[in-house]
Amino acid sequence: MSQHNQQPQPIYLKDYQVPAYLIEHTELRFELDEQETLVRATLRVRRNPACTRSKAALELHGHETLELCRLSINGEILSERDFSRNEELLTIPSVPTEFTLECLTRIHPELNTALEGLYKSDGMFCTQCEAEGFRRITFYPDRPDVMSVFRTRVVADRSRYPVLLSNGNPVESGYEDDGRHFVTWEDPFPKPAYLFALVAGDLAVLEDSYTTASGRPVKLQIYADSKDLDKLDHAMLSLKRAMQWDEQVYGREYDLDIYMIVAVDFFNMGAMENKGLNIFNTSCVLASPQTTTDAAFQRVEGVVAHEYFHNWSGNRVTCRDWFQLSLKEGFTVFRDAEFSADMNSRTVKRIEDVSLLRTAQFAEDAGPMAHPVRPESFIEISNFYTLTVYEKGAEVVRMLHTLLGPEQFRRGTDLYFERHDGQAVTTDEFVQAMADVSGRDLTQFKRWYSQAGTPRIQVSDSWDDVAGCYRLTFRQSCPATPGQDEKLPFHMPIAYGLLAADGRELAAGVLELTDAEQSFSFDDLSERPVPSLLRGFSAPVKLSFSYSDEQLLHLLRHDCDGFNRWDAGQRIAVALMQSLMVDYRSGRELRLPESLVDTWRSLLTDASLDPAMVAHLLRLPSEAYLSELADVIDVEAIHEVREFLLKALAQALLPEWSAVYNRSSSEEPYAPDAAACARRSLKNLSLGYLLATGEEVWLTLAEEQFNNADNMTDQQAALALVVHSGFRQAGERLLAEFQAQWQHEALVMNQWFSIQASDPWPGALGRVQRLQEHPLFDARNPNKLRSVVAAFCGQNAVSFHAADGSGYAYLADWIIQLNKQNPQIASRLLTPLTRWKRYPEEVQLLMKAQLARILDSGELSRDVYEVVSKSLV
Ligand code: ARG
Ligand code: ZN
């Protein structure tokens, strides 16, 4: 909570100072219990020779909830006069240059609803320390540039908590006199406190092993509730694949004797890379064909790999301060994206990632919380675990990869890991390694880290028929963002190709843009080409070029870059939908152009096309993407136009959809591989179009699929499509059946909740409020809040933006309630309200009124205060 009605203050990157004291060794003893937990910390402290401030006090972070029982230096108990304490810090003004500090603290994990620090999830103890959760466990210099070797003893009741885990290797175990037992863990690798972890509970385990490239055996363990033991195979397989991939692609081996993953039900985010002991949201680790969709299978694979890759990009080399978060997150997202591309379809992975970037990250860049990949200041660091730091950060690393090429990039990462192993560094060091191996000057490139906003690129072309010379001119600019009015030009790679009329490629390569305006000429061409620009989305920008429909169709048919083929299709659909929106607003009848029907028919009937590609090509741009592209978002027009197009394309191509549905149905047993996923995705896309006709025959088909499916992808798709297509009675029936079948599977029921919360049929708010009364809904569980509250506010635009403002008031009520209970979740759920500037004026007033209501609702957490106050500027 904010301190005594003072407004929380920002922290600035420019104020960074090296720590005055280092912790050489950290010994922890936890006595876990139902009513309270005792933490004894014994720290070997030494003055930091790199610190030039003389007489610096020792500052230990400590959350206001910590109850300090005893504090001593070299065995001498300190009295109240020897130190001072406020809401954040315990300060000891005078200490020796080297000493042992012992600190006994009482904490209450059983009351911890913020899910930061040590807390209870379904009866087990677990931790989440990144970014600043360790200060809720004990007094400590809780900053990533203080790295220490940890030895941890966990003591707890034997029967309730048979499994006791922490980082590193188990070195000792035994019984204490009172029926409790203990295990002692030692982690030989120095680490910052944010990578500390502890787990205690009654857990089942899946075991396996992996032998590293140099022949070291590693024990692999995945822990979960015993009822979920049958859902751990996919995560285990993904882990082994990730370990091997990191050896092959980056030359990085695992370094401890044991690697553990624990699945927990209550978790604010996806997962956490604690050294040797990853803790995962169940939604990112559990998977079985019956209960898990293809998308979730892929997410498990990606997140398991992500957390594993952090062992090098994050743990062995960590961040100096939290402004550098993208050093580990951007790089690790890039690594996991490349891993997933190698394991599945590269083009599909790229399409999915770019879709997310272009809808959600671009919207963030255009909103009040816009910030550079390396932010300059923050009030609450938890608010900066953003799409910008993660996804745009990964794009920045991808651009380095494109500029340097794979070989130099690999030499760059080798140098980076070698140079900085065991250190806490900055994004400058990462770029420097790339500059050193390539001999390139990357000074201008670094603007990607310091300047916020999505750059715009205007491209024009000209053709000299006599000389056979084609010329492309690029103009780049970047809109103002909070605190940054003027932007300097970025250095960016533009991958391109030039296509002849017969589809041949006349030229291809990578152009490097550095100036505000720049031209490139291509000589000796036999004909005027069609340019394929920004292939593979080689830079995170909005590129415009006035393509004719013929040119886009040409790219759609012939571009060898799968991403740009898809994007050509998107450009066609977006342009059409934008013009339909104009018609809708002026009350003109909406009409489907014959040309689009012809294009789609050819895509639908060409059985030689890759089903994955077709599925993506024929999916209409999302409401979220259309909103991001709009000058002023007209929620209703976007929704109505998209619904119209869906129905019109369904009617116009009915036999084709039906044929594709039949062609992509399969008798083969379920497998989550890329080919089978693509087939299901095309099948369920066709089912969606068939249902959009509103005809009962297709409802029967959907119900058959629902009843006969041997996998969750098909069953859930049928359910969601029936519910969302307006078959009200059938929808109710299937929802009831689904609930009866799956009520014991928490993750499946989350989907059941979110299908209903995102159902745009009138009356959504009332339905959502009834869902909150459901016995399986639990407002303390973030996954449940995401399934209901976030699904309603984020994926049900027409209902959330109801004209009477009821959706906004609903969200504000939740924020006010959650502000105290779980500030991180409260602040995240708030996002849709912060986007008020994008809507018409009367809507803005309603949205702002709710933000103001939150601001006036009493003492706000730093998390919520930062987002609300910045949004109201
Ligand atoms: N480092 C984690 C990951 O990306 C994210 C954990 C952040 N947690 C938080 N509560 N802010 O893998
Ligand atoms: Zn991460």
pLDDT of 669-697, one tens digit each?
Answer: 999 999 999 999 999 999 999 999 999 99
3-state secondary structure of 660: helix
Mutational pocket test of ligand 1: of 113, 128, 130, the residue with most ligand atoms within 8 Å of the beta carbon: 130
User: Which atom from ligand 1 is nearest to the alpha carbon of 390?
Assistant: 4
778: pLDDT strictly greater than 70? yes
Distance CA 79, CA 77 (A): 7
User: Which atom from ligand 1 is nearest to the alpha carbon of 381?
Assistant: 11
User: Residue with the nearest Cα to atom 2 of ligand 1?
Assistant: 272
Mean pLDDT, residues 774-798: 98
Distance CA 153, CA 142 (A): 20
Burial 286-313 (b: 16+ CB within 10 A, else e): bbbbbbbbbebbbbbbbbbbbbbbbbbb
Segment holding 18, helix H or strand E: none
Distance CA 829, CA 852 (A): 16
User: What is the number of other CB atoms lying within 10 angstroms of the CB of residue 243?
Assistant: 23
Residues contacting residue 707 through CB under 8 Å, at least 6 positions apart? none
Residue 21's Cα: distance from chain center in Å?
A: 34
pTM: 0.98
Contact 864, 380 (CB under 8 A): no
Ligand nearest to the CA of 304: 1
CA end-to-end distance (rounded Å), the chain: 22
Expressed in angstroms and rounded, the spacing between residue 331 Cα and the centre of ligand 2 is: 9
Ligand nearest to the CA of 385: 1
* 327 Cβ inside 6 Å of ligand 1: no
4: pLDDT strictly greater than 90? no
* 355 Cβ inside 6 Å of ligand 1: no
* 481 Cβ inside 6 Å of ligand 1: no
* 386 Cβ inside 6 Å of ligand 1: no
How far are the Cα atoms of 624, 732, 743 from residue 736, in angstroms, in the given order? 30, 6, 10
User: Residue with the nearest Cα to atom 11 of ligand 1?
Assistant: 382
Contact 758, 791 (CB under 8 A): yes
User: What is the number of other CB atoms lying within 10 angstroms of the CB of residue 520?
Assistant: 15
Query: Which active-site residues does the annotation give?
Result: 307
Expressed in angstroms and rounded, the spacing between residue 24 Cα and the centre of ligand 2 is: 26
* 303 Cβ inside 6 Å of ligand 1: no
Phi-psi region of 292 (alpha: psi -120 to 50; beta: other; left: phi over 0): beta
* 272 Cβ inside 6 Å of ligand 1: yes
Residue 222's Cα: distance from chain center in Å?
A: 22
Ligand nearest to the CA of 333: 2
* 382 Cβ inside 6 Å of ligand 1: yes
Expressed in angstroms and rounded, the spacing between residue 245 Cα and the centre of ligand 2 is: 17
Residue 57's Cα: distance from chain center in Å?
A: 38
Residues contacting residue 717 through CB under 8 Å, at least 6 positions apart? 293, 680, 684, 687, 688, 705
Beta bridge partners of 472: 461, 520
Distance CA 690, CA 695 (A): 8
User: Which atom from ligand 1 is nearest to the alpha carbon of 385?
Assistant: 11
Expressed in angstroms and rounded, the spacing between residue 394 Cα and the centre of ligand 2 is: 11
User: Residue with the nearest Cα to atom 7 of ligand 1?
Assistant: 130
Mutational pocket test of ligand 1: of 126, 129, 269, the residue with most ligand atoms within 8 Å of the beta carbon: 269
Expressed in angstroms and rounded, the spacing between residue 607 Cα and the centre of ligand 1 is: 43
User: Which atom from ligand 1 is nearest to the alpha carbon of 115?
Assistant: 10
339: pLDDT strictly greater than 60? yes
Residues contacting residue 454 through CB under 8 Å, at least 6 positions apart? 362, 365, 366, 478, 479, 540, 541, 542
* 268 Cβ inside 6 Å of ligand 1: yes
Summarised one tens digit per residue, pLDDT across range 401-439 is 999 999 999 999 999 999 999 999 999 999 999 999 999
How far are the Cα atoms of 23, 76, 188, 338 from residue 101, in angstroms, in the given order? 10, 9, 20, 45
User: Which atom from ligand 1 is nearest to the alpha carbon of 131?
Assistant: 11
User: Residue with the nearest Cα to atom 12 of ligand 1?
Assistant: 272
User: Residue with the nearest Cα to atom 3 of ligand 1?
Assistant: 272
How far are the Cα atoms of 143, 160, 318, 696 from residue 417, in angstroms, in the given order? 21, 42, 10, 61
Question: What angle is formed at CA 818 by the lines to CA 361 and CA 199, rounded to 5 degrees?
Answer: 85
pLDDT at 363: 98
Backbone angles phi, psi at 425, to 5 degrees: -125, -175
Distance CA 518, CA 768 (A): 53
358: pLDDT strictly greater than 50? yes
pLDDT averaged over every residue in the chain? 97
- Give me the half-sphere count of Cα atoms (radius 13 Å) on the Cβ side of residue 844: 9
316: pLDDT strictly greater than 90? yes
Residues contacting residue 378 through CB under 8 Å, at least 6 positions apart? 10, 11, 322, 323, 384, 866
Expressed in angstroms and rounded, the spacing between residue 117 Cα and the centre of ligand 1 is: 13
Tokens of 808: 């906004």
Phi-psi region of 115 (alpha: psi -120 to 50; beta: other; left: phi over 0): left
320: pLDDT strictly greater than 70? yes
Expressed in angstroms and rounded, the spacing between residue 190 Cα and the centre of ligand 2 is: 19
Residues contacting residue 257 through CB under 8 Å, at least 6 positions apart? 169, 216, 217, 218, 219
Burial 22-50 (b: 16+ CB within 10 A, else e): bbeebbbbbbbbeeebbbbbbbbbebbee
Q: What is the CA radius of gyration of the chain?
A: 28
Ligand nearest to the CA of 334: 2
Which residue from 711, 673, 685 is spatially nearest to 345, judged by alpha carbons?
673
Tokens of 854: 């939150």
Mutational pocket test of ligand 1: of 121, 272, 310, 822, the residue with most ligand atoms within 8 Å of the beta carbon: 272
User: Which atom from ligand 1 is nearest to the alpha carbon of 268?
Assistant: 10
* 329 Cβ inside 6 Å of ligand 1: yes
pLDDT at 5: 58
DSSP per-residue codes, 565-616: HHHHHHHHHHHHHHHHHHHHHTTPPP---HHHHHHHHHHHH-TTS-HHHHHH
3-state secondary structure of 220: strand
- Give me the half-sphere count of Cα atoms (radius 13 Å) on the Cβ side of residue 118: 30
Mean pLDDT, residues 754-760: 98
Expressed in angstroms and rounded, the spacing between residue 277 Cα and the centre of ligand 2 is: 14
Ligand nearest to the CA of 271: 1
Sheet holding 58-61, edge to edge: 58-61, 89-92, 84-85
Mean pLDDT, residues 760-779: 98
* 827 Cβ inside 6 Å of ligand 1: no
3-state secondary structure of 37: strand
Mean pLDDT, residues 258-286: 99
Distance CA 147, CA 493 (A): 37
Residue located via tokens 């944010």: 194
Residue 827's Cα: distance from chain center in Å?
A: 15
Mutational pocket test of ligand 1: of 112, 129, 385, the residue with most ligand atoms within 8 Å of the beta carbon: 385
2: pLDDT strictly greater than 80? no
Share of the chain above pLDDT 90, in %: 97
Distance CA 594, CA 336 (A): 42
pLDDT at 177: 84
Distance CA 523, CA 58 (A): 67
3-state secondary structure of 219: strand
Contact 294, 713 (CB under 8 A): yes
User: Residue with the nearest Cα to atom 6 of ligand 1?
Assistant: 272
Backbone angles phi, psi at 46, to 5 degrees: -145, 140
Summarised one tens digit per residue, pLDDT across range 205-254 is 999 999 999 999 999 999 999 999 999 999 999 999 999 999 999 999 99
Summarised one tens digit per residue, pLDDT across range 826-862 is 999 999 999 999 999 999 999 999 999 999 999 999 9
Summarised one tens digit per residue, pLDDT across range 473-513 is 999 999 999 999 999 999 999 999 999 999 999 999 999 99
551: pLDDT strictly greater than 70? yes
* 866 Cβ inside 6 Å of ligand 1: no
Mean pLDDT, residues 354-371: 98
Summarised one tens digit per residue, pLDDT across range 132-167 is 999 999 999 999 999 999 999 999 999 999 999 999
Expressed in angstroms and rounded, the spacing between residue 130 Cα and the centre of ligand 1 is: 6
Distance CA 85, CA 65 (A): 12
Residues contacting residue 543 through CB under 8 Å, at least 6 positions apart? 456, 457, 459, 533, 534
Q: Given 3-state DSSP classes, what are the helix, strand and coil percentages for the chain, each rounded to the nearest 5?
A: 45, 20, 30
Expressed in angstroms and rounded, the spacing between residue 332 Cα and the centre of ligand 2 is: 6
Distance CA 386, CA 367 (A): 13
Which residue from 311, 194, 183, 181 is spatially nearest to 242, judged by alpha carbons?
311
Angle formed by the axes of helices 712-724 and 696-708, nearest 10°: 150
